[in-house]
Amino acid sequence: MDWQIALVAIPAPTHGEEARAIWLKDRFLEAGLSNVEIDGAGNVAGFLPAAHLPPESSGPMVLLSAHLDTVFPAGTPIHPVFEDDRLVAPGACDNAAGVAGMLAIASALIHAGVELPVPLLVLGNVGEEGEGDLRGVRHIYQQSSLAGRIAAHIVLDGPGADVAVTQALGSRRFQVTVTGPGGHSFTDAGTPNPIAALAMALARLADTPMPEDRGTTLNFGTISGGISVNSIPQSVQATIDFRSTDAAELVRLEVALHRAIEDAVENSNAKSKTAQPPRGRLSYAVTKIGDRPAAKLPDDSALLASLRAVDRHMGLRTDLRLGSTDANIPLSLGIPALSMGAGGEGGAAHTLHEWYHPKDRELALKRVLLLALAMLEWAADQ
């Protein structure tokens, strides 16, 4: 809990995790991890080496990770309050609980002198939340020399001891910008209006059929533009979020977005031709700002079998769920992965009043520890 209180007091907005990364690097070094470093993306990595393998070994390893960033923007007041074993602070659960739990697992293995059959890579990664677009874990799998060695990946995210996310909810996120000449609301009447065009496009997109059986949703997250009520705006922006368990549905919705905005802009430009004299045309841009792949851990996966074995041993029952986590990336690559809680209870996630209580945290950490050890044994046989 001391680690968790210290960690949560350090601001870590997505794309601004540097101070928290430095803190975690120091804790990794104190714990005794090897080859501790902060990589080019800002991730903090450290190793628990295998007992009988040389440091230069290129064999398989298991990855244990927890994300460092929070949803709270820079400048958010953070004043942790700890009273009666209850921690209240932005990010107390998501993901200070996961990072503290990860550090506890690594420290316990080192303290106990456990001889590992293959290395355990411990990672505090950046960019899990919002527009971070999983960039920290994506960097590990796309640009790190370690990528080809990862045999399994366990993600610690938030509290809890009875849930595991084994199906990755895919998402695609876009920023749409419509621009035009702008002008005075009266003297320049007839000039094409970016807000009107964007509103027409969003209204059409909102009517797109959504197949409920595929877990598909769309959301308009933000919209902004214009300078005054009596001005024709020069630009307007909106952000849009598509989610689905079916990758084909994400493609369909992306196509629908492009068609809706293109038609709305063309119609607005056609109507503006009646303006005398014509004052210009609208243009638009659609920029992808997030892409999380959809995937699922196979029912016959060794990771799932190991989790069930741990549950039987500990008298637990894990509820398998759908979610959007760092596990999306390895699952989409066919690597056994899941996201699970690091114990305790919490609530009011993603609010300034987020709270955490360490009830049954020890039980959950035993669960994580046994699962990690089981996968290390499995990886050694691959």
Mean pLDDT of 246-263: 96
**Positive/negative CA dihedral, 128, 64, 121, 100:** positive
Supply the mean pLDDT for the chain: 95
Q: What are phi and psi of 109, to 5 degrees?
A: -65, -40
Mean pLDDT of 21-36: 97
Fold agreement (2-168+296-380, 170-292): no
| 3-class state of residue 372 by DSSP | helix
Confidence of residue 190 (pLDDT cuts 50, 70, 90): confident
Task: Indicate the CATH number for domain 170-292.
Answer: 3.30.70.360
| 3-class state of residue 175 by DSSP | strand
Predicted TM-score of the model (pTM):
0.91
Could you name the CATH architecture of 2-168+296-380? Answer: 3-Layer(aba) Sandwich (3.40)
Buried b (16+ CB within 10 A) or exposed e, 277-314: eebbbbebeeeeebbbbbbebeeebbbbebbeebbeee
Q: What is the per-residue pLDDT across 120-152, written as a single tens digit (0 to 9) for each?
A: 999 999 999 988 999 999 999 999 989 999 999
**Extents of the domains making up the chain:** 2-168+296-380, 170-292
Query: How confident is the model at residue 55, as a pLDDT?
Result: 64
Mean pLDDT of 38-44: 97
Mean pLDDT of 46-50: 95
